Amino acid sequence: MTGSRVVALGHYQPARVLTNEDLAAMVDTTDEWILSRVGIKTRHIAGPEEPVDELAFQAAGKALAGAGLTPDDIDLVLVATSTAIDRSPNMAARVAAKLGMGGGPAVMDINVVCSGFTHALATADHAIRAGSATRALVIGADKMTEITDWTDRTTCVLTGDGAGAAVVEASEEPGIGPVLWGSVPEMGNAVRIEGTPPVFAQEGQSVYRWTTSQLPPLARKVCEKAGITPADLAAVVLHQANLRIIEPLAAKIGAVNAVVARDVVDSGNTSAASIPMALSKLVQRGEIVSGAPVLLFGFGGNLSYAGQVIRCP
Protein backbone atom coordinates (compact mmCIF):
# COMPACT_ATOMS: atom_id res chain seq x y z
CA MET A 1 0.00 0.00 0.00
CA THR A 2 1.32 3.44 -0.91
CA GLY A 3 0.69 6.62 0.97
CA SER A 4 0.12 10.08 -0.42
CA ARG A 5 1.47 13.55 0.12
CA VAL A 6 0.68 17.15 -0.74
CA VAL A 7 3.26 18.33 -3.26
CA ALA A 8 2.05 21.85 -4.06
CA LEU A 9 -0.54 24.46 -3.08
CA GLY A 10 -2.19 27.46 -4.68
CA HIS A 11 -4.80 30.03 -3.75
CA TYR A 12 -6.87 32.76 -5.36
CA GLN A 13 -8.94 35.68 -4.10
CA PRO A 14 -10.94 38.27 -6.03
CA ALA A 15 -9.44 41.74 -6.30
CA ARG A 16 -12.31 43.63 -4.68
CA VAL A 17 -11.86 44.17 -0.92
CA LEU A 18 -14.74 45.00 1.42
CA THR A 19 -13.64 46.73 4.64
CA ASN A 20 -15.43 47.06 7.95
CA GLU A 21 -15.96 50.73 7.16
CA ASP A 22 -17.69 49.72 3.93
CA LEU A 23 -19.99 47.41 5.89
CA ALA A 24 -20.76 50.16 8.39
CA ALA A 25 -22.24 52.14 5.52
CA MET A 26 -24.49 49.21 4.63
CA VAL A 27 -25.77 47.90 7.99
CA ASP A 28 -25.86 48.97 11.62
CA THR A 29 -22.32 48.02 12.61
CA THR A 30 -18.88 49.51 13.27
CA ASP A 31 -15.27 48.51 12.78
CA GLU A 32 -14.90 48.18 16.57
CA TRP A 33 -17.99 45.95 16.86
CA ILE A 34 -16.77 43.61 14.11
CA LEU A 35 -13.20 43.37 15.40
CA SER A 36 -14.31 42.70 18.97
CA ARG A 37 -16.71 39.93 17.99
CA VAL A 38 -15.12 38.14 15.04
CA GLY A 39 -11.67 39.68 14.51
CA ILE A 40 -12.17 40.33 10.80
CA LYS A 41 -10.82 43.48 9.14
CA THR A 42 -11.41 42.82 5.43
CA ARG A 43 -12.86 40.24 3.07
CA HIS A 44 -12.61 39.69 -0.72
CA ILE A 45 -15.75 39.84 -2.85
CA ALA A 46 -16.17 38.09 -6.22
CA GLY A 47 -18.20 39.81 -8.90
CA PRO A 48 -20.73 38.27 -11.32
CA GLU A 49 -17.89 37.39 -13.71
CA GLU A 50 -16.23 35.21 -11.07
CA PRO A 51 -18.47 32.20 -10.29
CA VAL A 52 -17.26 29.45 -7.98
CA ASP A 53 -15.69 27.36 -10.73
CA GLU A 54 -13.62 30.36 -11.86
CA LEU A 55 -12.26 30.83 -8.33
CA ALA A 56 -11.46 27.12 -8.17
CA PHE A 57 -9.85 27.15 -11.63
CA GLN A 58 -7.52 30.01 -10.71
CA ALA A 59 -6.33 28.31 -7.51
CA ALA A 60 -5.96 24.96 -9.29
CA GLY A 61 -3.77 26.47 -12.00
CA LYS A 62 -1.39 27.87 -9.39
CA ALA A 63 -1.17 24.54 -7.57
CA LEU A 64 -0.43 22.67 -10.81
CA ALA A 65 2.25 25.20 -11.74
CA GLY A 66 3.82 24.81 -8.30
CA ALA A 67 3.92 21.05 -8.75
CA GLY A 68 5.41 21.33 -12.25
CA LEU A 69 2.52 19.30 -13.67
CA THR A 70 0.13 19.62 -16.56
CA PRO A 71 -3.65 19.18 -16.23
CA ASP A 72 -3.39 15.81 -18.00
CA ASP A 73 -1.21 14.49 -15.16
CA ILE A 74 -4.28 14.54 -12.85
CA ASP A 75 -6.69 11.60 -12.71
CA LEU A 76 -8.96 12.75 -9.86
CA VAL A 77 -10.50 16.19 -9.28
CA LEU A 78 -12.32 16.90 -6.02
CA VAL A 79 -13.98 20.25 -5.34
CA ALA A 80 -15.23 20.98 -1.85
CA THR A 81 -17.97 23.61 -2.03
CA SER A 82 -21.42 24.43 -0.71
CA THR A 83 -22.05 27.23 -3.20
CA ALA A 84 -22.09 25.29 -6.47
CA ILE A 85 -23.62 27.04 -9.48
CA ASP A 86 -25.80 24.16 -10.65
CA ARG A 87 -26.51 20.58 -9.71
CA SER A 88 -24.87 19.41 -12.94
CA PRO A 89 -22.31 19.68 -14.35
CA ASN A 90 -20.63 19.78 -10.97
CA MET A 91 -17.82 22.17 -10.10
CA ALA A 92 -15.13 19.50 -10.49
CA ALA A 93 -16.25 18.81 -14.05
CA ARG A 94 -16.35 22.53 -14.82
CA VAL A 95 -12.84 23.01 -13.45
CA ALA A 96 -11.53 20.01 -15.40
CA ALA A 97 -13.01 21.49 -18.58
CA LYS A 98 -11.55 24.94 -17.89
CA LEU A 99 -8.13 23.36 -17.32
CA GLY A 100 -8.45 21.40 -20.56
CA MET A 101 -7.94 18.02 -18.94
CA GLY A 102 -7.83 15.46 -21.71
CA GLY A 103 -7.12 12.41 -19.60
CA GLY A 104 -10.70 11.82 -18.48
CA PRO A 105 -10.27 12.35 -14.73
CA ALA A 106 -12.84 11.31 -12.16
CA VAL A 107 -14.70 14.46 -11.06
CA MET A 108 -16.56 14.83 -7.77
CA ASP A 109 -17.93 17.63 -5.62
CA ILE A 110 -17.95 17.24 -1.84
CA ASN A 111 -20.37 19.35 0.20
CA VAL A 112 -19.46 19.30 3.86
CA VAL A 113 -19.48 23.10 4.02
CA CYS A 114 -16.63 24.48 6.18
CA SER A 115 -14.91 21.11 6.69
CA GLY A 116 -15.22 20.23 3.00
CA PHE A 117 -11.54 20.58 2.14
CA THR A 118 -10.30 18.26 4.89
CA HIS A 119 -12.98 15.71 3.93
CA ALA A 120 -11.88 15.99 0.28
CA LEU A 121 -8.20 15.68 1.17
CA ALA A 122 -8.93 12.48 3.10
CA THR A 123 -10.95 11.15 0.17
CA ALA A 124 -8.06 11.79 -2.21
CA ASP A 125 -5.63 10.11 0.18
CA HIS A 126 -7.91 7.07 0.45
CA ALA A 127 -8.33 6.85 -3.34
CA ILE A 128 -4.58 6.96 -3.89
CA ARG A 129 -3.88 4.41 -1.15
CA ALA A 130 -6.48 2.10 -2.72
CA GLY A 131 -4.88 2.42 -6.14
CA SER A 132 -7.88 4.21 -7.68
CA ALA A 133 -5.89 7.37 -8.42
CA THR A 134 -2.27 8.41 -8.72
CA ARG A 135 -2.52 12.21 -8.67
CA ALA A 136 -5.41 14.27 -7.37
CA LEU A 137 -6.32 17.92 -7.51
CA VAL A 138 -8.14 18.84 -4.29
CA ILE A 139 -9.84 22.23 -4.21
CA GLY A 140 -11.82 24.16 -1.64
CA ALA A 141 -13.82 26.99 -3.22
CA ASP A 142 -16.78 29.04 -2.07
CA LYS A 143 -18.52 32.24 -3.05
CA MET A 144 -20.11 32.91 0.31
CA THR A 145 -21.07 36.48 -0.48
CA GLU A 146 -23.58 35.19 -3.03
CA ILE A 147 -25.59 33.51 -0.26
CA THR A 148 -25.16 36.28 2.33
CA ASP A 149 -28.04 38.30 3.75
CA TRP A 150 -26.53 41.77 3.61
CA THR A 151 -29.17 43.10 6.00
CA ASP A 152 -28.15 40.68 8.79
CA ARG A 153 -25.23 42.25 10.63
CA THR A 154 -24.49 39.04 12.54
CA THR A 155 -23.60 37.10 9.38
CA CYS A 156 -22.74 39.64 6.68
CA VAL A 157 -19.64 40.73 8.61
CA LEU A 158 -18.26 37.19 8.36
CA THR A 159 -18.27 36.08 4.76
CA GLY A 160 -15.74 36.31 1.96
CA ASP A 161 -14.91 34.56 -1.32
CA GLY A 162 -11.90 32.57 -2.47
CA ALA A 163 -10.35 29.23 -3.32
CA GLY A 164 -7.39 27.10 -2.33
CA ALA A 165 -6.01 24.01 -4.03
CA ALA A 166 -3.60 21.18 -3.35
CA VAL A 167 -1.94 18.64 -5.63
CA VAL A 168 -1.78 15.23 -3.95
CA GLU A 169 0.22 12.31 -5.32
CA ALA A 170 1.24 8.79 -4.37
CA SER A 171 4.24 8.52 -2.09
CA GLU A 172 6.22 5.68 -0.48
CA GLU A 173 6.55 7.86 2.61
CA PRO A 174 3.04 8.90 3.71
CA GLY A 175 2.67 12.65 4.05
CA ILE A 176 -1.02 12.73 4.94
CA GLY A 177 -1.97 11.22 8.27
CA PRO A 178 -5.13 9.30 9.17
CA VAL A 179 -8.29 11.39 9.14
CA LEU A 180 -10.56 11.84 12.12
CA TRP A 181 -14.01 12.85 10.96
CA GLY A 182 -17.56 12.91 12.23
CA SER A 183 -20.59 15.09 12.93
CA VAL A 184 -23.32 16.03 15.39
CA PRO A 185 -26.45 15.45 13.26
CA GLU A 186 -28.89 16.57 15.94
CA MET A 187 -27.24 20.01 15.91
CA GLY A 188 -27.02 20.26 12.14
CA ASN A 189 -29.38 23.24 11.97
CA ALA A 190 -26.90 25.40 13.88
CA VAL A 191 -25.34 26.34 10.52
CA ARG A 192 -27.62 26.50 7.50
CA ILE A 193 -27.69 27.40 3.82
CA GLU A 194 -31.37 27.06 3.00
CA GLY A 195 -34.19 28.46 0.92
CA THR A 196 -34.72 29.66 -2.64
CA PRO A 197 -32.55 31.56 -3.22
CA PRO A 198 -30.32 29.97 -0.55
CA VAL A 199 -29.20 32.12 2.39
CA PHE A 200 -26.49 31.49 4.99
CA ALA A 201 -27.63 31.61 8.63
CA GLN A 202 -26.28 30.28 11.90
CA GLU A 203 -26.84 30.10 15.63
CA GLY A 204 -23.61 31.83 16.59
CA GLN A 205 -23.57 31.07 20.31
CA SER A 206 -24.29 27.37 19.81
CA VAL A 207 -21.50 27.11 17.26
CA TYR A 208 -19.08 28.99 19.53
CA ARG A 209 -19.79 26.76 22.53
CA TRP A 210 -19.47 23.58 20.44
CA THR A 211 -16.20 24.54 18.80
CA THR A 212 -14.43 25.81 21.91
CA SER A 213 -15.58 22.99 24.22
CA GLN A 214 -15.94 19.87 22.06
CA LEU A 215 -13.28 20.23 19.39
CA PRO A 216 -9.98 20.51 21.35
CA PRO A 217 -9.93 16.83 22.43
CA LEU A 218 -10.84 15.79 18.87
CA ALA A 219 -7.96 17.84 17.46
CA ARG A 220 -5.58 16.25 19.96
CA LYS A 221 -6.84 12.85 18.85
CA VAL A 222 -5.93 13.74 15.26
CA CYS A 223 -2.35 14.25 16.44
CA GLU A 224 -2.46 10.94 18.31
CA LYS A 225 -3.59 9.12 15.17
CA ALA A 226 -0.64 10.69 13.32
CA GLY A 227 1.79 9.49 16.02
CA ILE A 228 2.79 12.95 17.25
CA THR A 229 1.98 15.29 20.13
CA PRO A 230 0.48 18.78 19.73
CA ALA A 231 3.83 20.19 20.85
CA ASP A 232 5.43 18.62 17.75
CA LEU A 233 3.27 20.65 15.37
CA ALA A 234 4.94 23.35 13.30
CA ALA A 235 1.61 24.92 12.33
CA VAL A 236 -2.10 24.74 13.07
CA VAL A 237 -4.52 25.60 10.27
CA LEU A 238 -8.09 25.58 11.53
CA HIS A 239 -11.18 26.52 9.57
CA GLN A 240 -11.06 30.30 9.47
CA ALA A 241 -14.47 30.88 11.02
CA ASN A 242 -13.93 33.63 13.55
CA LEU A 243 -10.81 34.79 15.37
CA ARG A 244 -12.64 34.39 18.70
CA ILE A 245 -13.03 30.70 17.87
CA ILE A 246 -9.59 30.09 16.32
CA GLU A 247 -7.45 31.51 19.11
CA PRO A 248 -9.08 29.69 22.08
CA LEU A 249 -9.27 26.45 20.11
CA ALA A 250 -5.60 26.61 19.10
CA ALA A 251 -4.60 27.32 22.70
CA LYS A 252 -6.65 24.41 24.07
CA ILE A 253 -5.10 21.98 21.58
CA GLY A 254 -1.72 22.57 23.21
CA ALA A 255 0.28 23.31 20.06
CA VAL A 256 2.67 25.57 21.97
CA ASN A 257 5.36 25.68 19.27
CA ALA A 258 3.08 26.10 16.27
CA VAL A 259 2.36 28.96 13.93
CA VAL A 260 -1.42 29.52 14.05
CA ALA A 261 -3.09 30.58 10.80
CA ARG A 262 -5.11 33.78 11.23
CA ASP A 263 -6.07 34.45 7.62
CA VAL A 264 -9.64 35.14 8.75
CA VAL A 265 -8.51 38.65 9.70
CA ASP A 266 -7.89 39.58 6.06
CA SER A 267 -10.15 37.13 4.22
CA GLY A 268 -13.20 36.55 6.39
CA ASN A 269 -14.95 33.18 6.53
CA THR A 270 -14.54 31.54 3.12
CA SER A 271 -15.99 28.16 4.16
CA ALA A 272 -14.33 25.26 2.29
CA ALA A 273 -11.68 27.59 0.85
CA SER A 274 -10.41 28.77 4.22
CA ILE A 275 -8.01 25.96 5.15
CA PRO A 276 -6.21 25.48 1.81
CA MET A 277 -6.06 29.24 1.27
CA ALA A 278 -4.58 29.90 4.73
CA LEU A 279 -2.12 27.02 4.36
CA SER A 280 -1.03 28.15 0.91
CA LYS A 281 -0.29 31.64 2.23
CA LEU A 282 1.76 30.32 5.17
CA VAL A 283 3.84 28.20 2.79
CA GLN A 284 4.20 31.04 0.29
CA ARG A 285 5.50 33.33 3.04
CA GLY A 286 7.97 30.68 4.20
CA GLU A 287 6.46 30.38 7.67
CA ILE A 288 6.51 26.55 7.58
CA VAL A 289 9.51 24.52 6.46
CA SER A 290 9.10 21.66 4.01
CA GLY A 291 8.39 18.36 5.73
CA ALA A 292 7.17 19.94 8.97
CA PRO A 293 3.98 18.53 10.56
CA VAL A 294 0.86 20.69 10.15
CA LEU A 295 -2.54 20.11 11.72
CA LEU A 296 -5.47 20.79 9.41
CA PHE A 297 -8.85 20.81 11.15
CA GLY A 298 -12.13 21.80 9.52
CA PHE A 299 -15.44 22.24 11.30
CA GLY A 300 -18.79 23.96 10.86
CA GLY A 301 -21.79 23.26 8.63
CA ASN A 302 -23.79 20.14 9.57
CA LEU A 303 -21.67 20.46 12.73
CA SER A 304 -19.26 18.22 10.87
CA TYR A 305 -15.54 18.05 11.45
CA ALA A 306 -12.52 16.46 9.78
CA GLY A 307 -8.84 16.74 10.51
CA GLN A 308 -5.47 15.25 9.64
CA VAL A 309 -1.78 15.99 10.12
CA ILE A 310 0.10 16.53 6.88
CA ARG A 311 3.72 17.11 6.04
CA CYS A 312 4.27 20.57 4.57
CA PRO A 313 5.16 20.45 0.86
Please give the pLDDT value at position 1.
56
Report pLDDT digits (tens) over 223-241.
999 999 999 999 999 999 9
Torsion sign over Cα 219, 288, 17, 36: positive
Please give the pLDDT value at position 137.
98
- The whole-model pTM stands at 0.97
Q: Which fold has domain 3-171?
A: Peroxisomal Thiolase; Chain A, domain 1 (3.40.47)
Q: If you ran DSSP here, which 8-state letter would residue 49 be given?
A: T
Q: Are the beta carbons of 207 and 190 closer than 8 angstroms?
A: yes
Measured between alpha carbons, how far is 247 from 245 in angstroms, rounded to an integer? 6
Residue-range domain boundaries for the chain: 3-171, 180-312
Catalytic annotation present for 156:
no
Please give the pLDDT value at position 253.
95
Measured between alpha carbons, how far is 262 from 282 in angstroms, rounded to an integer? 10
* Catalytic member of 11, 20, 114, 242: 114
* Catalytic member of 11, 44, 119, 239: 239
* Catalytic member of 20, 90, 242, 269: 269
Q: For the structural domain made of 180-312, what CATH number should be given?
A: 3.40.47.10
- The burial class, CB within 10 Å (0-12 / 13-18 / 19+), for 89 is middle
Q: Which stretches of the chain drop beneath a pLDDT of 50? A: none
Return the CA Rg of the chain. 18
Residues 6 or more apart whose Cβ sits within 8 Å of residue 205: none
180-312 matches 3-171 in CATH topology: yes
